[in-house]
Structure 1
């Protein structure tokens, strides 16, 4: 007999997924990770790899059967694929995971969506879980539809919780984190973006995922956010903490708005998604997308740290692997 718990993790080779797997192993879980044959797998001793994808039904059933918790993190964005593929992976892939859970002996499902399906309404300064927004773009549309599938699974008797991380910052993220650090460190990056974001450390999101498993209520949604900062504030604080050279010129919002129609036109001419945004998304990018995690704090005991707490480890990774 053993008290060891078993976790099945889709998206285990990604930025957040690999951080989650590392924590699970540290805490004594048996970890099963789903990996496509072509994916680079993190060098973590102890993971039992299941090689396949969300549409390999036999592998998926074997992955989740007998798991105490299924952490479904696998997904894809518009930087990596066109709208049809985004829908197939994020929506149809989630349905395949749910089908495997229905067919197997599975405990709780913790689904990772995005904060983008929630947005401030009226005069609210911060969005919360009740601020369900009209999706903008194929990625948000796919995540909103996947959320509905998970909600239906919970309503029909399945045990499922949905979390909504905001903008995740930490080592291993070559997209948002690397770009933000460059704006705070590099003299060759003189301009910062308008607007602002809720910036949360990857280790805090991992905490939130584990808390959602342990304490979340089935069928509920929880925003896992961090500090609400304008890009100017974030860049200045990174520079101050690292003796960097902060970007000092804001990119005009009008310039970003103008890029939206250009992206739409280029995509129409090429008959593919050349740029991962349109005029609606370009307008959204200049706004302050601020969130509150009060519900997760109250119901889960969730906490987050300031951006400076995540800089030592993130800077070590950036200096070694990015610069």
Structure 2
């Protein structure tokens, strides 16, 4: 890339967004980042910051106008906000981004959704882009609606590609990554979860985002996944590679499923949603949510590396920060 190639990144201060910005800068892009006034912009020197949010129309218009690629990563989950806010940010916020792109001089939009809008059908081991699932919870519903709007944008004169990362692992992630490492390293974490998931390194997802921009077909969706592992397999491999103490007891699936109705009842009594957890989400947490990235591999040249390849950098961050 040359310095004349410009990207706009929403969610630029987040876990994935900051990794993407670092890579874009290293590759010679000019990078514009959207940041709320209170967000920690870290060490992202070289980013031109546009201070505002997804509902600041003037800032959004300035952010995207004249760029080669808009990487729309901004979003929020149920651990951070209630269902109404989650839906507003993820769905309505995407609508604002798309409107800014329509009104401005914009090249391609690369939208980062979630693998959660797809699930393995009954009897199948893995899901692909065609396995569209009924959304569970406000987060999946908001992302599904955002995908619909991006598809419509691509079909009506825009240029857009949607990617679906699976469970992202890497330095800087204090949620999934920190929890998984604790299960593989810490004697104080005796139990691991049932079920399994597709674990992908953050650097591999960044590669996938850039490949989607360069090679993706307008209007298409691409799963950016990694290794399909049960939690037991993942924590044992982490422990073996990092000389840790793996959790040895599996939390019973019935215990997790029973917690769903309890969370629902607590929320009903309090009159607010106290936990981002209900019986449907509890059932989902016990399943093996495995995915295939064959389409991205075939059409984009996407590749992912094994879990162990991402451990040295991630472990250094974990020991220092967590």
Give the structure 2 partner of residue 156 of structure 1.
156
For structure 1, the residue ranges without an aligned partner over 5 or more in a row are none
Decide whether aligned partners of structure 1 residues 3 and 171 sit closer, same or farther in structure 2, where only a CA change above 3 A counts: closer
What displacement does 1:267 show?
A: 1.1
Per the alignment, residue 310 of structure 2 pairs with 310
User: Shift of residue 271 of structure 1?
Assistant: 1.8
**What is the CA–CA distance in structure 2 between the aligned matches of 1:185 and 1:46, rounded to whole Å?**
36
Name stretches of at least 5 consecutive residues in structure 2 with no aligned partner.
Answer: none
- In the alignment, the residues of structure 1 paired with residue 293 and residue 164 of structure 2 have an alpha-carbon distance, to the nearest angstrom, of 10
Question: Where does residue 17 of structure 1 map in the other structure?
Answer: 17
- In 2, the alpha carbon distance for the partners of 1:108 and 1:45 equals 25
1:277 correspondence with 2:277? yes
Q: Is the 2:3–2:30 contact (alpha carbons within 8 Å) kept by the matching residues of 1? A: no
Residues 249-299 of structure 1, C-alpha deviation per residue, up to 9 Å, x if partnerless? 000000000000011111111222211111000000000000000000000
CA–CA distance in structure 2, aligned partners of residues 164 and 263 of structure 1: 28
Q: For 1:175-214, what aligned pairs fall within 5 Å after superposition?
A: 175-214=175-214
The answer for the alignment partner of 1:288 in structure 2 is 288
Q: Aligned residue pairs: how many?
A: 321
* TM-score, length-scaled by structure 1: 0.99
Instruction: Encode CA deviations 1:227-269: one digit per residue, 9 max, x unaligned.
Output: 0000000000000000000000000000000000011111111
Structure 2 equivalent of residue 77 of structure 1: 77
Q: Which consecutive segments of 4 or more residues in structure 1 shift more than 6 A?
A: none
* 1:65 matched residue in structure 2: 65
Partner of 2:48: 48
SS in 1 for 2:126: coil
3-state secondary structure, aligned to 2:229: strand
Partner residue in 1 for 2:114: 114
SS in 2 for 1:128: coil
Query: How far is 1:3 from its partner?
Result: 5.8
State the superposition RMSD in angstroms. 0.7
- Residue pair 2:216, 2:300 contacting (<8 A) in 1 also: yes
Indicate the residue corresponding to 2:5 in structure 1. 5
The 1:251–1:303 alpha-carbon spacing in structure 2 relative to 1, beyond 3 Å, is same
